Amino acid sequence: MHLQEKHPKATLSDFIKNWSEENGFLACGIARVHQPDVETERLKAWLKEGKHADMEYMERNLEKRCNPKKLVKNARSVISLLYNYYPVKQLPKDQHYKISKYAYGRDYHKVIKKKLKPLLQKLREESGTQHSRAFVDSAPVMDKVWAMKSGLGWIGKNTMLLNRKFGSFFFVGEVITDLELEYDDAEHKDLCGSCSRCMRACPTGALSKAYVIDARKCISYHTIENKSSDLPDALRSKFENWIFGCDICQDVCPWNRIAKPHQEKDFTPSETLVKMNKADWENLKQDDFEMLFEGSAVKRAKYSGLKRNIHFVQKH
Ligand code: SF4
């Protein structure tokens, strides 16, 4: 007999949460699928103001992004799972070029997707579901919104999902499924309070409005997503040596003082990466880049993008 037939919601929901814990996820929450009206309107306003820079795919996929049923037939539930990437030791910062902590090791898309596969398999075996898909920043899904709606935290003034027990250095993965589950529908209270550290710390002013990121000024956007051969002159001298991503608005967040190191060997940086100094980055050849970042998220910037970023910050 399938679990869903035995105890339709509670048993399956408990099974999923136990599975998540046993498989090293920080936390798991489940939200009922509905049209997130407030967030949809916010997203539309953000796009209208052009704050997505040239990420046109955000406009193209708006309908899918706002409606999980467009991604999974008869979707009823979104299961959100948090996976820690806070490193035991950070790469050297002073007098070094910097890459975001999430990119120290193997590409998180690959690592987490692989981890979620057995859950999909189990759900199929135990419940007979025909329609369940896993996503890790790999499709138009409002991942932070669904995680928030399942009680896993709040979206802070830096626009990251924050959890009072873990901070914000974690990835959010989702399983969208046609299964009816037990829901953690309590949205978390916003605990940013009067703090505005992230907004003050952002050197480019990308967070000049609380809870709204302006990608046109965001270091992370420019060093990863911006595909043009030049970066904006107005931002010259403001990148503080970040050459892939940026952690400033998370590093200054008081909730990250409680972040604990992950235990994921796939996220451990290679010895070569740990030892890279400025000259090594500046002299990096394409072949070295391919080897150093084999299976890494840094490949998203491509060799040309990384060299462009180094050149951009090098002059200052
Ligand atoms: S730094 Fe302060 S305002 Fe910004 S996300 Fe953290 S708690 Fe919220």
pLDDT block averages, 10 residues each, the chain of length 316: 57 94 97 90 93 89 88 94 97 92 96 95 86 90 94 97 97 95 87 98 97 97 95 94 98 97 96 96 97 96 97 84
- Per DSSP, the three-state class of 134 is strand
Write down the pLDDT at residue 94: 83
Answer yes or no: is the C-beta of 253 below 6 A from any ligand 1 atom: yes
Distance 199 CA to ligand 1 centre (A): 8
Inter-residue contact 136 to 112 (CB < 8 Å): yes
Tell me: do 137 and 31 sit in the same domain.
Answer: yes
Domain edge (last residue) among 124, 149, 177: 177
Tell me: do 300 and 155 sit in the same domain.
Answer: no
Write down the pLDDT at residue 59: 87
| Spatial distance between the Cα atoms of 73 and 310, rounded to a whole number of angstroms | 44
Tell me: do 210 and 117 sit in the same domain.
Answer: no
Tell me: do 17 and 133 sit in the same domain.
Answer: yes
Instruction: For residue 34, give its domain range.
Output: 3-88+101-177
Tell me: do 13 and 132 sit in the same domain.
Answer: yes
Distance 99 CA to ligand 1 centre (A): 21
Tell me: do 26 and 148 sit in the same domain.
Answer: yes
In a domain, 190, yes or no: no
Inter-residue contact 250 to 168 (CB < 8 Å): yes
Domain edge (last residue) among 146, 177, 208: 177
Condensed to tens digits (0 to 9), the pLDDT of residues 8-33 reads 667 899 999 999 999 999 999 999 99
Tell me: do 166 and 309 sit in the same domain.
Answer: no
In a domain, 113, yes or no: yes
Domain edge (last residue) among 177, 209, 236: 177
Look up residue 255 and give its DSSP letter. Answer: G
Answer yes or no: is the C-beta of 146 below 6 A from any ligand 1 atom: no
Nearest CA to ligand 1 atom 1: 253
In a domain, 281, yes or no: yes
In a domain, 303, yes or no: yes
Look up residue 91 and give its DSSP letter. Answer: P
Nearest CA to ligand 1 atom 8: 192
Write down the pLDDT at residue 186: 77
With CA atoms as reference, report the closest residue to 224 among 286, 293, 161, 304. Answer: 304
Instruction: Look up 137 and say whether it is catalytic.
Output: yes
Query: Which alpha helices (H) appear in 206-275, and where do they start and end?
Result: 219-220, 248-251, 271-275
Tell me: do 64 and 173 sit in the same domain.
Answer: yes
pTM for the full model?
Answer: 0.94
Inter-residue contact 106 to 89 (CB < 8 Å): no
Distance 247 CA to ligand 1 centre (A): 13
